[in-house]
Amino acid sequence: MLIIGIAGGTGSGKTTVARSVIERLGSSKVTFISQDNYYKDHSHLSLEERSLINYDHPFAFDNELLIEHLTILRNGQAAMAPVYNFSEHARSTTETVELKPNNIIILEGLLVLADENLRSLLDIKVFVDTDPDVRILRRVLRDIEERGRTIQSIHQQYLTTVKPMHEAFIEPSKKYADLIIPEGGENEVGIQLLSILTEKYLSGDRNWGEN
């Protein structure tokens, strides 16, 4: 089993890169995991209280559960991932997603390279590096269209948590990357290179520097 971690700032194109690699390799070979599903459960708090939590800090994620599930998958067993509701800022109480062991596991998320214990489980570490102006515009569109946010709430969250946490935790985690892909899904060469490396890794060929 090969576990690939794809990190990067909000709106950088992490999911697009992951989906592109899956399309090239074949969906039957890959299990996709989003770190977003592993936000800690705060359903005991009111919606107003939940909306005040800093969701861009590493402590917002239940990495212990995520590490447990990755370990279960590596041992050849299925795991049941939680489902997170962004509109309610809470985990679903009725839904889970079955994660099946596979040849390739792709884990995508803001901070998958920032946690040392999580990082130690990754065979290939990728950072998607995209211009901040592009990232914030993508986030605005996504949060309005998919998560029902107002432009005012997006503006406030970006200035108070998103930007400071990116500078404090996400950007510094880039130093741990084996591969940096500028401009995310727009970088066809980077995506193709990651796909080729993955295929070579699975075949047992570790001489990546040789033809």
Residue 122: which pLDDT band, with cuts at 50, 70 and 90? Answer: very high
pLDDT tens column, 1-11: 899 999 999 88
Percent of the chain with pLDDT over 70: 97
Residue 73: which pLDDT band, with cuts at 50, 70 and 90? Answer: very high
Q: Is the pLDDT of residue 113 over 70?
A: yes
pLDDT tens column, 126-162: 999 988 888 888 878 888 888 778 888 888 888 888 8
Q: Is the pLDDT of residue 210 over 60?
A: no
Percent of the chain with pLDDT over 90: 54
Q: What angle do CA 177, 142, 180 make, to 5 degrees?
A: 15
**What DSSP string runs through the chain?**
-EEEEEEESTTSSHHHHHHHHHHHH-GGGEEEEEGGGGBPP-TTS-HHHHTTS-TTSGGGB-HHHHHHHHHHHHTT--EEEEEEETTTTEEEEEEEEEEPP-SEEEEE-TTTTT-HHHHTT-SEEEEEE--HHHHHHHHHHHHHHHH---HHHHHHHIIIIIHHHIIIIIGGGGGG-SEEEETGGG-HHHHHHHHHHHHHHHTT---TT--
pLDDT tens column, 177-195: 999 999 877 888 999 999 9
Structural domains of the chain ordered from first start: 2-195 (3.40.50.300)
Rounded to an integer, the average pLDDT of 52-68 is: 93
Q: What angle do CA 11, 22, 182 make, to 5 degrees?
A: 40
pLDDT of residue 211: 47
Rounded to an integer, the average pLDDT of 62-86 is: 95
Residue 12: which pLDDT band, with cuts at 50, 70 and 90? Answer: confident
